Structure 1
Amino acid sequence: MQLGSDRAYDILRTQHQPLDAIFAPKSIAVIGASERENSVGRTVLWNLISHPFGGTVFPVNPKPHSVLGIKAYPNIAAVPEPVDLAIIATPALTVPSVIGECVDAGVKGAIVLSAGFKEIGTVGTELEQQVLQQVRRGKMRLIGPNCLGVMNPHTGLNATFANSMSMALPGKVGFISQSGALCTAILDWSFHENVGFSAFISIGSMLDVGWGDLIDYLGDDPHTESIVIYMESIGNARSFLSAAREVALTKPIIVIKAGRTSAAAKAAASHTGALTGSDAVFDAAFRRSGVLRVKSISDLFDMAEVLAKQPRPKGPRLTIITNAGGPGVLATDALITDGGELAELSKETYQALNELLPPQWSHNNPIDLLGDADPIRYAKALEIIAKDPNSDGLLAILTPQAMTDPTQIAHQLKPFAQIGKPVLASWMGDADVEAGAEILNQASIPTFPFPDTAANVFYYMWRYSYNLRALYETPVLADNGDTCKRTIAETIIQQVRQAGRTLLTEVESKQVLAAYGIPTVATQIATNVEEAVRLAKQIGYPVVLKVFSQTITHKTDVDGVHLSLHNADTVREAYNAIASSVTTKVGANSFAGVTVQPMIDLRNSYELILGSSIDAQFGPVLLFGTGGQLVEVFQDKALGLPPLNTTLARRMMEQTRIYKALQGVRGRKAVNLEALEQLLVRFSQLVVEQRLIKEIDINPLLVKAEKITQNSLVALDARIVLHELDITEAQLPKPAIRPYPTQYVSSWTTRNGMQVTIRPIRPEDEPLMIKLHHTLSEESVFFRYFHLIKLSQRIAHERLTRLCFIDYDREMALVVDYQNPKTEEHELLAIGRLSKLHGTNEAEFAMLVSDRYQCQGLGTELLKRLLQVGRDEHLTLISAEILAENSAMRRVCEKLGFRISPTTEASVVRAEIIT
């Protein structure tokens, strides 16, 4: 019993895309159309009729009988035909009622060009809410307000008030901008540079249609090969990241984000808060979603071109060949400054170059071919270094010299356009090199006038490749199944809130960490000096004393930490000193005693920090880096968005400088990086599940370079701050990326008595999915995919990664997990998938059951649970296409209330149910 129709998904997606009403309308009403010179209403109407798009235009204005010679109508209800798109250019105060009329008339899409909304303050914000209320009454989608409009160059649609002759050239780049003024500047620039667009979109205030909607739309658009974005604010962060993570796997998404130098918000109570700033969080979010962030507008379009022409590098190592030393040095400086590397050439490469080049060549990378380099020398040198396995990319630099022929050299380099590694060129100069540069560009070897620009582009290519790699890599399953006791943590947090506190004590904080399997140093409380001495003796000297308080945030601020206490006398002195200092600085009421802990040997160890704080746009944000008392001074940190898996945890670690030391340096052994990965995963689970936590620091987290022992990975100090006591569940910040949906995990018994677990799929399930596909018969494959697919194709890593590493916000896949009681090995018996259709509130389901476990009720149970997921997600319709001969699946659907109907193909039926 199998079900599935990947082909049907594409068909349904096309049929259901509501944004087609905006980008491919058949009829348009211009509300506010006018004869007045230079008015928005006149300009947009003129643009529409000056560039035929294959549809009809209806001016709407209650006063004139016609506008620009076209019959006008007093309101949208008077238009004699159904309207796909309404373009609104009326004063802001009138827009809510105009949108209401459009909804009543059945208009499917709207573009609000009018300004005067939230950008002017409270009054404008209230107007926006009135507009949104009207939009939500129907199924209308709206772009704006306060936008320039949209263009679809491939159909001729110019629904903007840009200068009347400024229709974008058709091309393969989808451009989205939050700034209308920048749109006009980019448009003007694009004519000079001959840059074409598949779509040209001014997104405005994103009242309804946001980044995620447009990324989804352009991701499905066959004319779009890359997406470039000018962004000022993120809007719905979860929607953006969800769409970007899916689309970036097939189409590059390149972003320039304004506001890079904005002052970071400071959080006095938290090391983590002080170290995170919103721009750094944007960087982390872009990395997590496979998006490439660039620094300049020219970079946007350079990268769109380069990624379309050349393969992504597999590493950061670049080989440079040049006919002049200076440009090679400039390229090297730019590369190393960004974070790239020069390739270390192999012995075989050096030997071959020695045989080819004059004795005076540089004997190093960059490879200086010398000023008399002819076309043959360039070509043979490039052929040699192209074979070097230590090189991830090639840059050829040419300066016009007396014995240089830029055009012939370009002809010789053309065959190297596609060698499996990126090849870039810098033909320096003007008229002398113009013909050669054009030859290379036509051969898909991107050419730049300056070598440092080319080096920067290569580094961007590597960063993009690096970001995507995390979406492809199969992580190791975290060992947090039995170590997590979330109910213990929840109980502690609730008890603190019931006591009227938002700050956990050190002891309570460590108990929460321990509940999630994060090792902590043994910590006991002493409320008087003699108890401190007794506990110190019991623990064993040397010990550490720290202030115990329900109100003090940072212990060092009140001299509340005393280390290396070797006897009873030093313990008494430390206790009294802490009590005196706290009383003097903050008052006796803040002193509740001390904690007594063993003094951990710091030799061969590293102090790290692990923390989380709340970002206003992205919710909880994780921090990892160098810890200790000078944490703010060193500023060695990496940010990430929860939840993590082991691959993402390793990516966070790799972003820091201390990572190199953790791998082993100067005779020190490497720390157990796998254990550290697991700890980061458990910490991210804590942050995601315990949403009442506002801030959390583990500083220091001690990591020792030795065999795993009790103290080789241990939290020496911890502090947790909760959200305000009056916060409601609905007000708690949500993670920007939807976490693993544990609510759908439960056990079940098959008809033959097998105990299984039905749960959402995980990225770590890829090996189990491979085993499942090995159990399928040709009939099962045919019923699932409507045609036979080779096993090698079905289990390809890139394919399975996308099926296992899903975004739970837009897709749910439930697997039947069976653990063999004899071997204790896991296997997947079946999988059911529910995929939302882009831009709609509908979804398609698919099913796959191992042949050996069919007729055990697995398909029925999975589909029943997927229907519940659909209800929980407030879907309106769930459907699938089924081969007519797949009688088993048809019976299951009918049993669960699906309506079966014929399609245009006799061999296929459609099953659908309204949820």
Structure 2
Amino acid sequence: MPTSDPSYNLLSARSQPLDAIFSPTNVAVIGASEQAGSVGRTLLWNLISNPFGGTVFPVNPKRDSVLGIRAYDSIADVPEQVDLAVIATPAFTVPGIIKECGEAGVPGAIVISAGFREVGEEGAALEQDIARHAADYNMRIVGPNCLGVMRPKTGLNATFAGAMANEGNVAFVSQSGALLTSILDWSFSENVGFSAFVSIGSMLDVDWGDIIYYLGDDPATKSIVLYMESIGNARSFISAARDVAQSKPIIVIKAGRTGAAAEAAASHTGTLAGSDAVLDAAFRRTGVLRVNDINDLFYMAEVLSKQPRPEGPNLSIVTNAGGPGVLATDALIGGGGTLAPISDDTTKALDERLPAAWSGSNPIDILGDASPQRYADALEIAADDENSDGLLVVLTPQAMTEPTKTAELLRPYARDNDKPILASWMGGDAVRRGVNILNQAGLPTFAYPDTAARVFNNMWRYSYNLRALYETPRLPTDDAEGLDRDAATALVEEADAQPGTIMTEYASKKLLDAYNIPTVETHVATDADAAVEAAEAIGYPVVVKLHSTTITHKTDVGGVKLNLHSADAVRSAFADIEDAVSEDGFDGVTVQDMVDTDGYELIIGSSVDAQLGPVLLFGTGGSLVEVFEDRALGLPPLNTTLARRMMEQTRIYEALQGVRGRDAVDLDALASLMVRFSQLVAEQPRIKEIDINPLLADGDRLVALDARVVLHPSDTPDEALPHPAIRPYPHQYEDTWTTEEGREVRIRPIRPEDEPNLVDFHKALSERSVYLRYASLMKLDQRVAHERLSRLCFIDYDREMALVAERPSDMDGDDTPKIVGIGRLTQRPGHNEAEFGMLVIDTVQREGIGTELLRRLVQIGEDEGLDRITADILKQNRAMQRVCEKLGFEIIYPQDHADEMVKAVLELE
């Protein structure tokens, strides 16, 4: 029965556990000291000299007071509730202190102390003790080995830095405390401000994902800037970054770009997939922008917070001097951008407003005597050209130039345009006032035009990556037709039971067949007679290859014989291969059709990255694959949009579209094949490396001519196997269910390509159903907007699960499957609980679909190890409340009777 419970508001009393660290009421400094220059003294002084609105309690058992403030022997002696403990004591004392903090009910800690895993096994053991105590008491910890946390807006300075950062809207998070202090010094000279200034340290507990989620919800933060040395928990980072990047720019500079090469690999993919390139792929997949130097880090934070994102790479340059225009052009094209072609209408308009001697092309040179009005006219006309994705205005202080008046006249264009506008006011004192005017108006300025062009290139790449996150796939992401996952698993298990880790080519091709990836017909022969028999069954000419469980690169040992036209040639090839290979490496040969290779040789593969798990590779294949190194990397699983984006990153992509009379390759079919390959990689965790090389592609076929699979050692336990950084589609939650009326309903997790079906779903909803679900009358055009529906369909299954109930046909006899209900379970960042939402179209309500969807969501919550499931429900929505009660939820009425919502709560075991 519903109850009125005073604990109702406590369920969300602290909306985010990290509030204890970023917005504490009271702070204890454990290790507070009066010793000049000590960390404990600096921490205490920073906290009391920058009032944050709370009380600071020094903890030092050897002193009665510190800096004139009463000190306490331990955290247990502090007379008030403490939100945040800042710990600066020797490493060996920290585990015990964390335990004491947990017992005292302290929810957050910053561990400044060093001497943990960075010093060896003994320090790592101390970290494990800290982690165990923190878990016991549900504490969140920043550090260890960190500088601390600043919140300039509130005055919180829980660091041992020398000064408080200026207030601003950029959050800066760094793994390096030394770099943080350097950036702090730099920020004062450059007048850069911060919403948060965070040293994340060793990430024992709070990691990149936690910080990104928190700052993503922070209204004071407009951009998030990261200095990263290691990615840590890859799934946490990717999940949070992908969610937040759509609303707030995330810019990262990653140290170690030129690190040592990865360990030797058995496959071509393992050789080609360097760790830093894999990180680039992860950043692209999440919408994070990577830059290479500190200046670009803050340039991009400023520009993306002030200007709209460009739709493409085409830049229009307006300049009063040819040389700077050329510099900008070189930087633009060298970085992958393009000069926007000027349309005929634009040319005509410029001819009417500019002197006859203007350049007549892009860059638009409006000559050295350009007046402020000429600048404004040229900018307005260029901005209206649909070919242009962004604009750069360059001014050099020539004899008749008026930098200040020109800036005044351009000020209105800073924010009234749907394209980004950048400016380069070149010079010193002569242009300073104009620069200030533009910056204050929100039009970013740069000292040099090539810098501005480089920034524009970063902007359009950022837009390009973000669009891929939520672009509706043209083809099904998960086409199960023809896939035999059970057969694939059986093949892997059979190979895993054999000595060695290399699957034979024959078994590798059978594995591809199970995922509907076409392979050339292949037979195994253990003697010469069997080889001839296989060749005659296939038809000459044939290829004979080494069949081995220990040798992976067959060409290196003379294990490939091509274009064999007779039985004698096959017998000779068998003998030559047997002679060339040691007895231990020879298990026979394979015989396959000699395919006409008048097409493109591609490679598709996967290997394991130490930080991000399985990584995909696509590019130019063949025997010289390592020489050409024309490849793109991505993370599984793919959809067809992401597969196409991988293709676009390679040089061979242009050829695949048809060149010099050759037919174009069926790129849709190739994208679908890449999707199925990514599913194979994501769903078979015992695979360590896999190559299809070459994959032959021409106008009417795709066929794998060779395949190589390397497994993890058979003694590797399942829990130690690397898993994809992005959770694959959860097939285990697919099922068919029958309503009480005997109608069959398919229930499955939502997919990106469901977006068009969701438009029809929302059209079928009554205003009452919409109001009961959203507590407002959300208009149809709002509900079906691409930006909204794409994010609801393209979800991260690691933190959210949406089930759709799908009928095989609608009531009018249309055979197209129709979505009739949706149930969604969304985990709250920083909490081990989730909220559910439910919506069923009116025509099928009261058939039990909503109850069944919620029952399955509860089961998923149990499977995923959640502590509880909650929902906020309108008081008048009694039908939803009854469904909840049927499944064991408690309905809790708020104490405030004016509140229109009740809370449904289910505690999970």
Q: Which amino acid aligns with 2:329?
A: T
Which has the larger displacement, 295-304 or 472-481? 472-481
Residues 1:688 and 2:702 aligned together: no
1:465 pairs with one of 463, 466, 481: 463
Residues 1:176 and 2:173 aligned together: yes
Q: Which amino acid aligns with 1:854?
A: Q
4+ residue segments displaced more than 6 Å: 9-14
Structure 2: distance between partners of 1:501 and 1:857 = 53
What's the TM-score, normalizing by structure 1?
A: 0.96
- Secondary structure, counterpart of 1:434 in structure 2: helix
1:835 aligns with 826
2:657 pairs with one of 663, 667, 670: 663
1:412 aligns with 409
Q: Which aligned pairs between 1:573-588 and structure 2 lie closer than 5 A?
A: 573-582=572-581, 587-588=582-583
Residues 1:782 and 2:777 aligned together: no
- Secondary structure, counterpart of 1:308 in structure 2: helix
Structure 2: distance between partners of 1:472 and 1:40 = 47
Structure 2: distance between partners of 1:865 and 1:317 = 49
Q: Is contact 2:620-2:630 (8 Å) kept?
A: yes
- Secondary structure, counterpart of 2:323 in structure 1: helix
1:229 pairs with one of 219, 226, 234: 226
Q: Which amino acid aligns with 2:816?
A: E
2:856 aligns with 865
Structure 1: distance between partners of 2:420 and 2:11 = 37
Q: Is contact 2:82-2:106 (8 Å) kept?
A: yes
Shift of 1:312: 0.4
1:676 aligns with 670
Structure 1: distance between partners of 2:587 and 2:773 = 66
1:271 pairs with one of 268, 272, 286: 268
1:53 aligns with 52
1:733 aligns with 722
The C-alpha deviation readout for 1:506-526, integer Å capped at 9, x for no partner, is 110000000000000001122
Which has the larger displacement, 80-89 or 821-830? 821-830
Q: Is contact 1:13-1:837 (8 Å) kept?
A: no
- Secondary structure, counterpart of 1:447 in structure 2: coil
Query: Are residues 82 and 12 of structure 1, via their aligned partners in 2, closer, same or farther at CA, if it must alter by over 3 Å?
Result: closer
1:590 aligns with 585
Q: Is contact 2:319-2:395 (8 Å) kept?
A: yes
1:3 aligns with none
Q: Which aligned pairs between 1:485-634 and structure 2 lie closer than 5 A?
A: 485-582=484-581, 587-603=582-598, 605-634=599-628
Q: Which amino acid aligns with 2:188?
A: F
Q: Which amino acid aligns with 1:886?
A: N
Structure 1: distance between partners of 2:591 and 2:307 = 61
Shift of 1:718: 0.1
Q: Which amino acid aligns with 1:590?
A: G
Shift of 1:75: 0.5
Structure 2: distance between partners of 1:528 and 1:346 = 69
Which has the larger displacement, 259-268 or 356-365? 356-365
Shift of 1:121: 1.2
The C-alpha deviation readout for 1:430-469, integer Å capped at 9, x for no partner, is 1111111111112211110011100000000001101100
What's the TM-score, normalizing by structure 2?
A: 0.97
The C-alpha deviation readout for 1:544-582, integer Å capped at 9, x for no partner, is 121122211101101111222233343333333222222
2:327 aligns with 330
1:126 aligns with 125
Q: Is contact 1:843-1:879 (8 Å) kept?
A: yes
Q: Which amino acid aligns with 1:835?
A: T
Structure 2: distance between partners of 1:73 and 1:591 = 75
Query: Are residues 302 and 23 of structure 1, via their aligned partners in 2, closer, same or farther at CA, if it must alter by over 3 Å?
Result: same
Shift of 1:734: 1.1
Structure 2: distance between partners of 1:352 and 1:897 = 70
Shift of 1:890: 1.2
2:18 aligns with 19
Structure 1: distance between partners of 2:13 and 2:105 = 20
Structure 2: distance between partners of 1:781 and 1:480 = 32
Q: Is contact 1:479-1:678 (8 Å) kept?
A: no
1:74 aligns with 73
Q: Is contact 2:241-2:288 (8 Å) kept?
A: yes
Q: Is contact 1:350-1:363 (8 Å) kept?
A: yes
2:237 aligns with 240
The C-alpha deviation readout for 1:765-816, integer Å capped at 9, x for no partner, is 1111111101111110010011101000000000011111111111111110
- Secondary structure, counterpart of 2:184 in structure 1: helix
Query: Are residues 230 and 13 of structure 1, via their aligned partners in 2, closer, same or farther at CA, if it must alter by over 3 Å?
Result: farther
Query: Are residues 713 and 430 of structure 1, via their aligned partners in 2, closer, same or farther at CA, if it must alter by over 3 Å?
Result: same
Structure 2: distance between partners of 1:719 and 1:82 = 61
Q: Which aligned pairs between 1:354-503 and structure 2 lie closer than 5 A?
A: 354-417=351-414, 418-475=416-473, 476-478=475-477, 480-503=479-502
Query: Are residues 492 and 160 of structure 1, via their aligned partners in 2, closer, same or farther at CA, if it must alter by over 3 Å?
Result: same
1:6 aligns with none
Shift of 1:669: 2.3
| Structure 1: stretches of 5+ with no match in the other structure | 1-8
Shift of 1:11: 11
Residues 1:814 and 2:828 aligned together: no
Q: Which amino acid aligns with 2:64?
A: H
Q: Is contact 1:16-1:837 (8 Å) kept?
A: no
Q: Which amino acid aligns with 1:907?
A: E
The C-alpha deviation readout for 1:130-161, integer Å capped at 9, x for no partner, is 11111111011000000000011111000000
Q: CA RMSD in A?
A: 1.5
2:3 aligns with none
Q: Which amino acid aligns with 1:550?
A: T
2:295 aligns with 298
1:4 aligns with none
Structure 2: distance between partners of 1:765 and 1:446 = 40
Structure 2: distance between partners of 1:120 and 1:537 = 66
1:38 aligns with 37
Q: Is contact 1:12-1:837 (8 Å) kept?
A: no
Q: Is contact 2:50-2:156 (8 Å) kept?
A: yes
Structure 1: distance between partners of 2:584 and 2:22 = 66
Query: Are residues 210 and 646 of structure 1, via their aligned partners in 2, closer, same or farther at CA, if it must alter by over 3 Å?
Result: same
2:873 pairs with one of 876, 882, 893: 882
The C-alpha deviation readout for 1:680-706, integer Å capped at 9, x for no partner, is 0000000011111110000001110x2
- Secondary structure, counterpart of 2:503 in structure 1: coil
Shift of 1:879: 1.1
| Number of aligned residue pairs | 895
2:907 aligns with 914
The C-alpha deviation readout for 1:3-60, integer Å capped at 9, x for no partner, is xxxxxx9997673311111111111110000110000000000000001000011000
The C-alpha deviation readout for 1:805-838, integer Å capped at 9, x for no partner, is 1111111111101112954311111111111112
Shift of 1:482: 1.8
2:95 aligns with 96
Residues 1:307 and 2:293 aligned together: no
Structure 2: distance between partners of 1:851 and 1:659 = 48
Q: Is contact 2:752-2:790 (8 Å) kept?
A: yes
Q: Which amino acid aligns with 1:304?
A: A
